[in-house]
Amino acid sequence: MRYDDIADELDEVLVTGEQMAQRLDELAREVERDYAGLDILLVGVLKGAVMVMADFARALQRPVTMDWMAVSSYGHGTTSSGVVRILKDLDTDIDGRHVLIVEDIIDSGLTLSWLRDNLLSRGAASVKILAALRKPDAVKSDITADYLGFDIPNKFVVGFGLDYAENYRHLRDVAVLAPRMYAQSE
């Protein structure tokens, strides 16, 4: 970890920035093949997906457009209520569009399950999912990533867009947050 002043706040690095960049390059080649001759609209889910969107979109060697949503998962982390609130909606009419959702992580899969159905109900021609990371609990939902970076263990991770209380999103690596950082507030 290059950030000496927070090194003691983090445990092991699970995915380095270099590993993520290489994997996103591979996924970009797959997406280019799969969407040959089709327009793609990348939909990023704020805020966590900012980093993966920036890196993945720039790895694509073909035209692409981007839009953003912000959603809030009510009951997230406790009960899977299925209630998701839109905090910021798309600016784009997606009727007939091929949408590729870009996410940082699939944890329970609740957010993406709802989002996929929501975008399909607006008339998207197709909705696929690219996720940088996936946790084991995701296999309990009906969500599968069409394009997946890495499976990671069920630990509290930060970096590459993922936060704890809005901190650490800017780290290039995905690292396990030291439990003592959140033990007292839970």
> Which residues are part of the catalytic machinery?
107
Distance CA 95, CA 93 (A): 6
Output 111 or 147, the one with its CB closest to ligand PRP.
Answer: 111
CA-derived radius of gyration, the chain: 16
The one segment of 34-42, 86-94, 100-108, 144-152 that binds ligand PRP by CB under 6 A: 100-108
- Strand order of the sheet with strand 10-15? 10-15, 174-177, 157-158
Q: Which of 10, 28, 99, 111 binds ligand PRP (CB under 6 A)?
A: 111
34 near ligand PRP, rule: CB under 6 A? no
- Return the structure tokens found at 37: 């001759």
132 near ligand PRP, rule: CB under 6 A? no
107 near ligand PRP, rule: CB under 6 A? yes
Output 32 or 157, the one with its CB closest to ligand PRP.
Answer: 157
51 near ligand PRP, rule: CB under 6 A? no
Q: 112: which residues sit within 8 A by CB, 6+ positions away?
A: 101, 103, 106, 129, 131, 143
45 near ligand PRP, rule: CB under 6 A? yes
Q: Whose CB is nearest to ligand PRP?
A: 48
Helix, strand or coil, per DSSP, at residue 71: strand
Q: Which of 48, 55, 56, 133 binds ligand PRP (CB under 6 A)?
A: 48
Helix, strand or coil, per DSSP, at residue 59: helix
The one segment of 35-43, 60-68, 108-116, 144-152 that binds ligand PRP by CB under 6 A: 108-116
Q: How far is the CB of 48 from ligand PRP (least distance, A)?
A: 3
Distance CA 126, CA 106 (A): 20
Site residues (vs ligand PRP, CB under 6 A): 45-48, 73, 76, 103-111, 163
